[in-house]
Amino acid sequence: MPIIRVEMFEGRDRETKQTLVKSLTSEMARITGCSEGSVHVVVTDVSKEDWGIGGELAVTKFPD
Amino acid sequence: MPIIRVEMFEGRDRETKQTLVKSLTSEMARITGCSEGSVHVVVTDVSKEDWGIGGELAVTKFPD
Amino acid sequence: MPIIRVEMFEGRDRETKQTLVKSLTSEMARITGCSEGSVHVVVTDVSKEDWGIGGELAVTKFPD
Amino acid sequence: MPIIRVEMFEGRDRETKQTLVKSLTSEMARITGCSEGSVHVVVTDVSKEDWGIGGELAVTKFPD
Amino acid sequence: MPIIRVEMFEGRDRETKQTLVKSLTSEMARITGCSEGSVHVVVTDVSKEDWGIGGELAVTKFPD
Amino acid sequence: MPIIRVEMFEGRDRETKQTLVKSLTSEMARITGCSEGSVHVVVTDVSKEDWGIGGELAVTKFPD
């Protein structure tokens, strides 16, 4: 039943997301004792124009 | 004042969302006694590439 | 797979929450075509000291 | 360490978001005593087709 | 209609929250042009036992 | 900069949360290439009275 949400900068491909989902799910099950089948992971890609750190947009602070 | 959030797979059209918003709002008001006018519903469409269930992306687990 | 979140003022009892969860779930399934079994509803009780509307805390704006 | 999330109708440009992030961050630091550098602000643009108020989608209730 | 969420370490009193809500609301309205009356702010107090930074719980990393 | 949120049934102790935070952080860094120091994890304990699955509260569906 656990729900894990991940907010990160956009740009990761599907394979990376699949790897991430698999790993977070298995660690969650291993550590908390829940079943892997019950874990949801929802990934949200956030644009660097929409994320401010220390008052500055990431698009300015961390240009590609 | 209640805020309802719905995360679901992307692909529902505007008419379905309107029906959903109307129904969730009226049920919320009927059951909790708040006014319908005070209910916010925010819908988030989630890509099947961004939703993992049981460690597997929904795009693989539930292909269209 | 849909996830519904409800934020509302604290104070509703378990029976009201059960009624709410049942209704939102069945409406979600009826309107979007998902199975009832796949719907998660997470309710968050928010204190009136933690909710501001129009710049004023609800505890002041809407005293009991 | 504080995290501020802003959900608002889509359509604000980068300059407005930069101004908003800067202001919310500095107010947060001034009022709570945290450092500005530790404040995260994540902005989510919501389509008027995905936001219901009083049971009606904003796209209908507040057309442009 | 904007919704602002603030997650921060628990421990701020009601007066600080009132000041924060008032300030974030008025800045939001000033910068985006929305009405103050339409702004919701929801504050979530997070225990230092529930917040990890760099892999370490804040209760250990930032003891009082 | 990534933010990970975990919602799970209440009842895990501090040691379990510390283990979970450490593991999710290091997996996040390993897979996405971000630095461990930039990862935030926020854990939310949810009462079984506040979580509905398939229309039924978890407190009824999964009694302790």
Query: Other C-beta atoms within 10 Å of B34: how many?
Result: 16
Of D45, D32, E24, D43, residue with least CA distance to C53 = E24
Alpha helices in E1-64 (DSSP H): 14-32, 58-61
Q: Say if CB E2 and CB E38 are below 8 A apart.
A: yes
Domain residue extents for chain D: 3-61
Partners of residue F46 in chain C, C-beta under 8 Å: 42
pLDDT computed for residue F50 by the predictor = 98
Q: Chain-centre distance of CA F58, in angstroms?
A: 17
**DSSP 8-state assignment for residue D49:** T
Question: Per the CB < 8 Å rule, is B18 touching D53?
Answer: no
Both structure tokens of D52: 């219901």
pLDDT tens column, E14-25: 999 999 999 999
Question: Per the CB < 8 Å rule, is B42 touching E3?
Answer: yes
Partners of residue D2 in chain E, C-beta under 8 Å: 6-9
Confidence band, pLDDT 50/70/90 cuts, at residue F54:
very high
Confidence band, pLDDT 50/70/90 cuts, at residue B1:
confident
The residue type of C36 is: E
pLDDT computed for residue C1 by the predictor = 80
Which residue is closest to B45 within chain A, CA to CA? A44
CA distance B6 to B21: 10
Both structure tokens of C19: 């009624």
pLDDT computed for residue A11 by the predictor = 96
The residue type of A38 is: S
pLDDT computed for residue D64 by the predictor = 80
Q: Say if CB C38 and CB B38 are below 8 A apart.
A: no
| pLDDT for residue B8 is more than 90 | yes
| pLDDT for residue D7 is more than 90 | yes
Of B22, A38, C37, residue with least CA distance to F8 = A38
**DSSP 8-state assignment for residue C39:** -
Q: Say if CB D36 and CB D1 are below 8 A apart.
A: no
pLDDT tens column, B21-56: 999 999 999 999 999 999 999 999 999 999 999 999
Which residue is closest to B20 within chain C, CA to CA? C31
Q: Say if CB E11 and CB E44 are below 8 A apart.
A: no
Residue C24 main-chain phi, psi, to 5 deg: -60, -40
Question: Per the CB < 8 Å rule, is F52 touching C26?
Answer: no
CA distance B50 to A42: 6
pLDDT tens column, A8-58: 999 999 999 999 999 999 999 999 999 999 999 999 999 999 999 999 999
Question: Per the CB < 8 Å rule, is D52 touching B26?
Answer: no
Partners of residue D39 in chain A, C-beta under 8 Å: 52-55
Which residue is closest to D9 within chain B, CA to CA? B42
Average pLDDT over chain F, rounded to whole?
A: 97
Both structure tokens of D12: 């604000």
Classify each residue of A6-29 as buried b or exposed e, where b means 16 or more C-beta atoms within 10 Å of its C-beta: bbbbeebeeeebbebbbbbbebbb
Query: Other C-beta atoms within 10 Å of B51: how many?
Result: 25
- Name the minimum distance, in Å, from the CA of D62 to any CA of chain F: 33
| pLDDT for residue E8 is more than 90 | yes
Both structure tokens of B8: 């679901």
Both structure tokens of E26: 């008025």
Beta partners for residue D46, in sequence order: D9
Confidence band, pLDDT 50/70/90 cuts, at residue D12:
very high
| Nearest CB neighbour to C1, from listed B9, B20, B27 | B9
Confidence band, pLDDT 50/70/90 cuts, at residue F1:
confident
| pLDDT for residue A1 is more than 90 | no
Average pLDDT over chain C, rounded to whole?
A: 97
Region B8-15: what's the mean pLDDT?
Answer: 97
Local confidence pLDDT in tens for the 64 residues of chain C: 899 999 999 999 999 999 999 999 999 999 999 999 999 999 999 999 999 999 999 999 998 8
Domain F3-61 has CATH 3.40.30.110: no
CA distance E23 to D4: 13
- Name the minimum distance, in Å, from the CA of D11 to any CA of chain E: 10
Residue E53 main-chain phi, psi, to 5 deg: -130, 120
Alpha helices in B1-64 (DSSP H): 14-32, 58-61
